[in-house]
Structure 1
Amino acid sequence: MKVHFVQSGGFVGVVKGCVLDTAVLDQDEAQELQRLVKASGIASSGVYFSAQARDVQQYEITIEDESPVSVAFDDLSLPSSARLLVGFLKKRARPQGLG
């Protein structure tokens, strides 16, 4: 399983991201990622941004597994079931280049 993550927006607007591949992560981290993806409840693609959101973080997650899923949330629309997964990914995200 591969998980692509992009965090953007907020007051400063810094873009951070990471790509995690369970095939290359250590066993404990790979198992934790798989557990968090399953617990997140993310099962179908979609964009779920709040209309009233300003200066909030936006999160794009693509899960490459049996059937790929891509979702986008912001701080206000992020389901509670996905918060632990997003926290795990945020800890591993690094600033991304602009081109």
Structure 2
Amino acid sequence: MPHLKIRGIDKAAVIARSKDIVDGISSIVDCPRDWVTIEHQATEYIFDGAIVDGYTFAEVYWFERPEEIKRNVATFLTKLLKEANGNKDCCIIFFPMEGKNYCDNGEFF
């Protein structure tokens, strides 16, 4: 944990920057690298009967961190994803999780 779900950006761009993403997030959050997971979600945005370009979204699922860490993660991801996606708009959404609702291999946190 944290787990990132990224959409609205080419999968190859995410793959090419995956080491940078993991290194940056693990450093900011101060967690082992193998706790960070990245998932790319294929997305098509539709408006007025056509497929259109849309935002890049990164959803961050994690156990709540202090506001400063959240801001640092948001700034880091926004900069990296905008660079990777031709400076398109980018939105970071945080989903705080509670240990009582997170079960890993049969064990709750």
Q: Same fold (TM over 0.5)?
A: no
TM-score, with length taken from structure 2: 0.31
TM-score, with length taken from structure 1: 0.33
Q: With CA pairs under 8 Å and 6+ residues apart, which has the higher RCO, 1 or 2?
A: 1
Select the structure that is richer in helix. Answer: 2
